[in-house]
Structure 1
Amino acid sequence: MAADMVLLTTGDPFAYDEVSYVAPDLTGLGDSVSKTDRFDKRSIAADIVELAHEHLGLGRFNLVGHDWGGGVAWAVAAHHPGHAKTLMLVDIAIPGDGNPNISQGGARWHHAFHNTIGLPEELITGREEIYLGWFYKNYCAMEDAISSDEIEKYICSYRRPPVLHAGFEYYRAVGQDVEDNSSRALQYRPDIPVLAIGGGKSWGRGSQVGESARRMADNVTEAIVEDAGHWIPEEQPEELANLIDGFYRTTYEKKSRAL
């Protein structure tokens, strides 16, 4: 249960060596507080746009999202066009992409469990290390890919009841996400460059990320991180960083040649 989003911003749109990285906690997670208790990705995308423009003073930005951060990143591009210059989705299938089940045919059994009102909070409170620790250990290509210290930092956040509840609310909003994204796709398909990155082993989504993105967007490039499961940022940080940097630079160079 994790959601990471990175805003990649440039002070000078023609100088890609000057890149700033901003990694906000998504609404309700980490140290971020939800003001509305709305966890559909379209609403959270509005929070990201507000953060970027009103609080950080950004113009257009490059956007990377992993897990539910990827769902929010997609919502920024689809429902708030004109803000993201490029979009990079990491091991996420887009809700509403036409696939009737983003849970891999039931393989991701926790999707349905987390969608149950109230029960996950009751069962997991006080047992966060057992339950959440299982995902951090088993959704990797190798069980020890994430250190025990890193796992403890993640779990420590979810020991706070509002954060644990918010984490489950991200799943409970999927029905709304499907409705929002599928209806939007009938009217608009983002034309910005999209990089779809999947983990190649264990619980990584592999080529499913690219397949999902191509159903919803037209300018999609696909990459597979072969020696990673779902937790690509923790398992293969250097390879992921190189993919992001390479995609950003290639996109910049193409635009520069077109000017």
Structure 2
Amino acid sequence: MKVEVKSNFARLSNVTMHYLTAGSGEPLVLLHGVPQSSHEWRHVIPYFADKFFIIAPDLRGLGDTSRPINGYDKKTVSADVWELLSQHLKIDSFFLVGHDWGGPVAFALAAQHRDAVRKLAILDVTIPGDGAEMSQGGRRWHHPFFRTPDLPEAMFGGREHIYLEWLFDNYGSRTNVLSQEDKAEYFRTYLKPGGFRTLLAYYRGFPSDVRDNEAFLEKDGKLQMPVLALGGDSGFGRGMETLQSLERVADDVRGGLIPNCGHWVAEEAPEFVAEELTRFFAE
């Protein structure tokens, strides 16, 4: 299905944000993960373009969005998205989807603007501050490693592409989930000056994310909008952890597994993901 996807830039208070738009209808916001960009939604967008007006931003410091020195806690990152939607695009109500680190960004956005988020979908990630351990007891070894000051920069300096390619090849359900062309698109932005610094900053913001989310929940309680939580059932997919995490921070949760899928859910199982999201949004 051929769909016109437009590339746009918005000058916001603290970043110049790149974002994709496509389709028409009710607003649907897609927040990507790390080490990805809005490019990760390329296979999903065609399924939605005849039903929704799609907005897929590159998050602060990632993709073709500018790279400030700080502000990578997810409360601040979500504020960029809110400014794009509410002030630049004049959108005050929308459906929201987040994958990987885009999931905690989506949660922070929904927790602060509960009347604006009509429904929330979280894909293959857990929520910092939900009371559980996000790094699977060390199985996701890169979480604490990336939070270690200076060491990742020293080890990966000039060799960032080796780690990125390893991650793409090992965190899916098979090694060839991503083509070399698609990997090259991610390398294009993550290997630019500041690209790997901002990747690390998303992990290093984790302690702030825990405190912020605990404060959101303490102040206003669990999320009340309907929530869909899906995890990949293979390899480094989160499995049922995503659903279990969201049940701890929201009251109206449904979901389960994405079959034959690892962590790169929008690229491994775009048809299944699109069908589940479409059904959820239509309920």
Q: Which amino acid aligns with 2:176?
A: D
Q: CA deviation at 1:86?
A: 0.7
> Residues 3 and 81 from structure 1, CA distance in 2 versus in 1: closer, same or farther, beyond 3 angstroms?
farther
Q: Counterpart of 1:127?
A: 159
Q: CA deviation at 1:3?
A: 5.3
What is the CA distance between 1:169 and its match in structure 2? 0.3
In the TM superposition, residue 35 of structure 1 has moved relative to its aligned partner by 4.5
- C-alpha deviations, 1:38-78, integer Å up to 9, x for none? 11101111111100011112121100000000110000111
Is 2:156 the partner of 1:156?
A: no
Counterpart of 1:198 (choices 231, 234, 244) is 231
CA distance in 1, matches of 2:261, 2:37: 17
Q: 1:95 to 1:4 in 2, by over 3 A?
A: farther
- Structure-1 residue corresponding to 2:125: 92
| 2:18 equivalent in structure 1 | none
Q: Distance in 2 between matches of 1:41 and 1:190?
A: 17
2:144 maps to a residue whose letter is: A
Q: Residue in 2 aligned with 1:83?
A: 116
Is the alpha carbon distance of 1:231 and 1:43 closer, same or farther for their aligned partners in structure 2, counting shifts above 3 Å? same
Contact 2:126 2:245 in 1 (8 A): yes
Deviations 1:152-182 (A, max 9, x none): 2112211112121011000001000011111
Identity of aligned residues (%): 40
Per the TM alignment, residue 222 of structure 1 is displaced from its structure 2 partner at its CA by 1.1
Closer, same or farther: CA 107–146 of 1 in aligned 2, 3 Å: same
In structure 1, the residue matched to 2:74 is 41
2:138 to 106, 115, 129: 106
Match among 54, 57, 73 for residue 24 of structure 1: 57
Distance 1:145 1:109, change over 3 A: same
2: distance between equivalents of 1:140 and 1:35? 30
Letter in 2 for 1:183: A
Find the partner of 2:148 among 104, 107, 116: 116
Letter of the structure 1 residue corresponding to residue 147 of structure 2:
N
Would the alpha carbon gap of residues 88 and 3 (structure 1) be closer, same or farther in structure 2, given more than 3 Å must change?
farther
Alpha-carbon distance between aligned partners in 2 of 1:190 and 1:208, rounded to the nearest angstrom: 18
TM-score by length of structure 1 reads 0.88
- Larger helix proportion of the pair: 1
Q: What is the CA distance between 1:17 and its match in structure 2?
A: 6.0
TM-fit CA distance, 1:33: 1.6
Aligned partners of 1:22, 1:43: CA distance in 2, in Å?
A: 19
Looking at structure 1, the residues matched to 137 and 204 of structure 2 have their Cα atoms a distance apart, in angstroms, of 18
Q: How much has 1:233 moved relative to structure 2?
A: 0.6
What secondary structure sits across from 1:195 in the alignment? strand
In structure 1, what is the equivalent of residue 97 of structure 2?
A: 64
Q: CA deviation at 1:238?
A: 1.0
C-alpha separation in 2, matches of 1:94 and 1:110: 17
Question: What is the Cα-based RMSD across aligned positions, in Å?
Answer: 1.8
C-alpha distance 18-228 of structure 1, shift in aligned 2 (>3 A):
closer
SS across alignment from 1:58 = coil
2: CA distance, partners of 1:84 / 1:118? 38
TM-score (norm 2): 0.81
- When residues 85 and 208 of structure 1 are mapped into structure 2, their CA distance, relative to the original with a 3 A threshold, is same
Is the contact between residue 37 and residue 63 of structure 2 (CA under 8 Å) also seen in structure 1? Answer: no
The equivalent residue for 2:205 is 173
Cα separation, partners in 2 of 1:55 and 1:78, compared to 1, 3 Å: same
- The residue number in structure 1 matching 2:176 is 144
Note the residue ranges of structure 2 that are not aligned, 5 or more in a row: 1-33, 42-48
In structure 2, give the amino acid aligned to 1:185.
L
Quote the residue 2:3 is aligned against.
none
Look up the match of 1:222. 255
Q: Give ranges in structure 1 of 5+ residues lacking alignment.
A: 7-15, 251-259
Q: Is the 8 A contact 1:64 1:89 kept in 2?
A: yes
